Chain A
Amino acid sequence: MSGKDNTGVSRRNFLAAAGAFGVVGLTGCLGGGGSITATGSNTVAPITQEAAESYQDTNDDALVDVSPEGTGAGFSEFCQGRSDIQSASRDITEDEIEDCAASDVEYSRYTVGLDGLAVVKNAENDWVDNITLDELQAIWEFEATDEVTQWSDVRDEWPDEEMSLHARDSASGTFDYFTANVVGERGDIRDDYSATSQTNEIMDAVASETHGFGWGGLGYAEAVIDDGQPLELVPVESDQDGDFYLPTEENVESGLYSPLARPLFFFVNHATLQESPDLIGSYVRHYINNQDSFADAAGFFAAPDEEQNANHDRFTEVLQDLGVEDEVSTEAEYY
């Protein structure tokens, strides 16, 4: 960029900036128009983004802005009415329900897919063939700190070697889900493992250490395995029949890989839906119509067909309640 261009840009820019301050001062509000604001989980963001790009392909003047602040931070925006769609890798909590109620934000929930939480070990680890839910709890609960440190502390026949534990940090919805469903209480975790906000780091670390062990989103584990790195999935006990299962498509979608398969959601704000039913309503319909392929493209599993039909029924009901059913141009496709 030459010096000449630079002055041109900065002058235009200065005007734009000054104008923007003026506009903000006058109206106190920007945005609206043809754009949809989607906040929430960075796990679900890829699915919502797939839906956004696919919707924008067929609707030229529609914009869907996906921001990935995380499930919790996203709910605090959503519950103050600042977003139209909220993606979540866990259900809404009691506190968040109260927040939404306090600001009179009404919403409804839709299931978009299933995520398998993979338990992973290094490929050189030939002693861990499977793991029970009790053993997972024994490894990860707070009481395990400084107590359960060697493989032999978990199962007697395993070696007297230190485990190297890697998992997500407490800011993530994945962490909330794992601690609530495996350890037993949300937020209950030992305090001497390597906590990271990047699932890639968990997988890379376990692939590089013989005694590495951890958990994280299945899509991340599979990408590392496909890359040829020494990482393996561990079959986990099912709370359905007590057998051990790997997070395959079949096991996750049939519900056998439980409790480590979790549903992923999005929430819709009813107030903004009523304001622009064609824009937001059509996007939501488009999302639900194609949710299986969006989830698949983002590395997740499809939710059961009943869930998809239930999504449509619930959304139809919401539109009827709001009296805007006729203004949504995208038709529901049932399975």
Chain B
Amino acid sequence: MSTKDQLGDIIDEGVSYEEVRGKLFLSLCIAASFFGIAMLVLLLWDVIATTHQAVFEFNVDPVHFLTQTSSRTAENAGFYSAIIGSLWLMVLVSVMAFFVGVGTAVYLEEYAPDNRWTRLFEANLANLAGVPSVVYGLLVLGVIVNGAGMGPILLAGALALALLIMPIIIVSSIEALRAVPDGVRQGSAAAGATRWQTIRNVVLPAAMPGIITGTILALARAIGETAPLIMVGALFITTRTPGPLDRFGAMPTEIYTWAAQPERQFIAMAGFGILILLGVLFTMQGIAVYIRRRYEVDFGE
């Protein structure tokens, strides 16, 4: 478009061409974001439709479903023991991962010198957060379940999940600690507080909403993991309610088994199970958002 006789024409054409490109880009961005939403709606619709089928076509009684242990017979099978298995996992994982994770983050951010080794360590943590979950399952199977002879018990499954989310907790805790401005620390030190007093009374309380939010989101990831639990040795179906030292199954492993059965009722019940699991996940995400909104401290000024 170089052979115009008037300068104005050239500029106008150029602008309108850029405007078209701009609009095209905007619509692509909108389409991209709608794609994600559309997929989520599709998933939810599918899960709800399957649950509807389970309840109305196969007459699965929701109360029975939520209060009975699982069974090979679809009519007798319930989700209760899997839910309890998942709750135990969640509690054990949070206990194991939280203290180690936050401790590591406090050391790295507050105490450790900022040298090449610390940076290498942090970079490795970020890489660890991206390791496929099944790898942690294999690690625990080899070292803890068989190596140390613990056996495929719930605690071993919790250990695999704790290892899986520990890097995520460390990284998000470091971010939360970093968001506390140095001025706050210096102010505390100027008032005569020791380093320990500063961390305990000033830095950690200020960073805690961020740390808790990161931990809950990491837990939400752990609770939906199937592969590491299968590697560790989850049961075919969870016929009794597990404690920490028992053989176990959890919501995702139960759903996985049911979805692979030939009986259509089991497949519909897997949909019902997914709905329960999604409910737990959304609740956890909601709590995380609430804590962030409610306790957020603004050091902006």
Contacts and interface: CB of A to CB of B under 8 A. Distances in A.
Contacts of B149: 24, 28-30
B118 interface: no
B273 interface: no
A28 B148 contact: yes
A10 B260 contact: no
Contacts of A72: none
A298 interface: yes
Contacts of B71: 53
Main secondary structure of the interface of A (DSSP, over half): helix
Interface in A207-235: 217, 219-220, 222-223, 226-227
Contacts of A53: 71-73, 239
B153 A30 contact: yes
A53 B264 CA distance: 21
B280 to A, nearest CB: 11
A30 B149 CA distance: 7
B46 to A, nearest CB: 13
A265 B34 CA distance: 51
Given A200-B262, A222-B262, A223-B264, A68 B236 contact: yes
Contact of B95 (A13, A31, A297): A13
B234 interface: yes
Contact of B234 (A13, A67, A219, A223): A67
A291 interface: no
A255 interface: no
Interface string B283-299: 00000000000000000
Interface string B230-259: 100111110110011101000000000101
Contact of A16 (B73, B245, B267): B245
Interface in A67-98: 67-69, 80, 82
A42 interface: yes
B224 interface: no
Interface stretch (A43-51, A132-140, A179-187, A238-246): A43-51
B260 A198 contact: yes
A223 B262 contact: yes
Contacts of B230: 69
Interface residues of B, number: 38
B18 interface: no
A31 B243 contact: no
Nearest to A217: B262
A150 to B, nearest CB: 31
B123 interface: no
Contacts of B262: 199-200, 217, 219-220, 222-223, 299
B234 A17 contact: no
A298 B243 contact: no
A241 B98 CA distance: 67
A67 B235 contact: yes
B91 interface: yes
A14 interface: yes
B150 A200 contact: no
B92 interface: yes
B91 A13 contact: yes
A198 B236 contact: no
Nearest to A46: B72
Contact of A24 (B148, B240, B264): B148
A17 B72 contact: no
6 contacts: A13-B92, A20-B155, A23-B245, A49-B236, A198-B260, A299-B262
Given A65-B247, A227-B264, 9 more contacts: A17-B92, A45-B236, A46-B261, A65-B235, A67-B233, A200-B260, A222-B262, A223-B263, A299-B262
Q: Which 4 A-B pairs have the closest CB atoms?
A: A223-B262, A66-B236, A219-B262, A220-B262
